[in-house]
Structure 1
Amino acid sequence: MTPFTYVRATDAQTAVRLADSRHPGVRYLGGGTNLVDLMRETVERPTALVDVTGLSNEITETDGGGLLIGAAVRNTALAEHRLVRSRYPMLARAIVAGASPQIRNMATVAGNILQRTRCAYFYDQAGSRCNKREPGQGCDAIDGFNRMHAILGASPSCVATHPSDMCVALAALDATVHLNTAQGERRLPFADLHRLPGDEPDRDTVLQPGDLITAVELPALPLAARSAYRKVRDRSSYAFALVSVAAALAVENGTVTDVRLALGGVAPKPWRPLAAERALRGQPATEAVFRAAAAAELAAAEPLRDNAFKVELAQRTIVAVLGELAENGLAGGGA
Structure 2
Amino acid sequence: MKAFQYVRANTAKSALEALVKDPSAQFIAGGTNLVDLMKRGVTAPDKLIDISRLPLNRIEKEATGVRIGAMALNSQVADDKLILDKWPLLAQALNAGASAQLRNKATVGGNMLQRTRCGYFYDTEMPCNKRQPGTGCGAKEGYNRMHAIFGTSEHCIAVHPSDMCVALVALDATVVVQGPKGERTIPFTEFHRLPGDRPEKDNTLEKDELIVAVTLPDSPYTQHAHYLKVRDRASYAFALVSVAAALELEGKTIKSARLAMGGVAHKPWRLQEVEKALVGKTVSEATFQQAAQQAMAGARAYEYNAFKLKLAPNTIVEALKMAAGLTA
Normalised to the residue count of structure 1, the TM-score between the two structures is 0.94
Name the residue aligned to 1:223: 221
**Paired letter, 1:16:** L
1:45-104 CA distances to partner (integer Å, 9 max, x unpaired)? 11111111112011111122x211110111111111111111111111111111111111
CA distance in 1: counterparts of 2:248 and 2:74, whole angstroms: 28
Which residue, out of 276, 279, 288, partners 2:277? 279
Deviates more, 1:89-98 or 1:259-268: 89-98
After superposition, residues 65-104 of structure 1 pair within 5 angstroms as 66-104=65-103
Name the residue aligned to 1:47: 46
CA distance in 2: counterparts of 1:326 and 1:91, whole angstroms: 17
After superposition, residues 1-335 of structure 1 pair within 5 angstroms as 1-20=1-20, 23-55=22-54, 56-64=56-64, 66-126=65-125, 128-327=126-325
| Aligned partners of 1:75 and 1:109 also within 8 Å | yes
CA distance in 2: counterparts of 1:254 and 1:312, whole angstroms: 27
Deviates more, 1:116-125 or 1:192-201: 116-125
Alpha carbon RMSD of aligned pairs, Å? 1.5
CA distance in 2: counterparts of 1:255 and 1:95, whole angstroms: 29
Where 1:222 maps in the other structure, the secondary structure is coil
1:256-304 CA distances to partner (integer Å, 9 max, x unpaired)? 1100111000001000011211211112222112111111121210111
* Deviation for aligned residue 1:224: 3.9
- Are the structure 2 counterparts of residues 225 and 51 from structure 1 closer, same or farther at C-alpha, using a change threshold of 3 Å? farther
| Aligned partners of 1:18 and 1:210 also within 8 Å | no
Where 1:106 maps in the other structure, the secondary structure is coil
Where 2:27 maps in the other structure, the secondary structure is strand
**Paired letter, 1:189:** P
Where 1:73 maps in the other structure, the secondary structure is coil
1:210-237 CA distances to partner (integer Å, 9 max, x unpaired)? 2100011111112244311010001112
CA distance in 2: counterparts of 1:63 and 1:274, whole angstroms: 26
* Unmatched segments (≥5 aa) in structure 1: none
1:160-197 CA distances to partner (integer Å, 9 max, x unpaired)? 11000011111111111111012211111111100000
* Unmatched segments (≥5 aa) in structure 2: none
**Paired letter, 2:225:** S
Deviates more, 1:187-196 or 1:277-286: 277-286
CA distance in 2: counterparts of 1:102 and 1:143, whole angstroms: 35
1:82-139 CA distances to partner (integer Å, 9 max, x unpaired)? 111111111111111111111111101100110012301111112x111111000001
**Paired letter, 1:219:** P
| Aligned partners of 2:157 and 2:266 also within 8 Å | yes
| Aligned partners of 1:30 and 1:111 also within 8 Å | yes
Query: What is the aligned residue count?
Result: 327
**Paired letter, 1:170:** L
Where 1:214 maps in the other structure, the secondary structure is strand
CA distance in 1: counterparts of 2:324 and 2:104, whole angstroms: 34
* Deviation for aligned residue 1:328: 6.2
1:19-59 CA distances to partner (integer Å, 9 max, x unpaired)? 13x53211111100000110111111111111111120111
| Aligned partners of 1:78 and 1:84 also within 8 Å | yes
**Paired letter, 1:151:** I
Where 1:113 maps in the other structure, the secondary structure is helix
**Paired letter, 1:232:** V
Amino-acid identity (%): 52
Normalised to the residue count of structure 2, the TM-score between the two structures is 0.96
Query: Runs of 4 or more off by more than 6 Å in structure 1?
Result: none
* Deviation for aligned residue 1:144: 0.7
| Aligned partners of 2:128 and 2:136 also within 8 Å | yes
- Are the structure 2 counterparts of residues 225 and 215 from structure 1 closer, same or farther at C-alpha, using a change threshold of 3 Å? farther
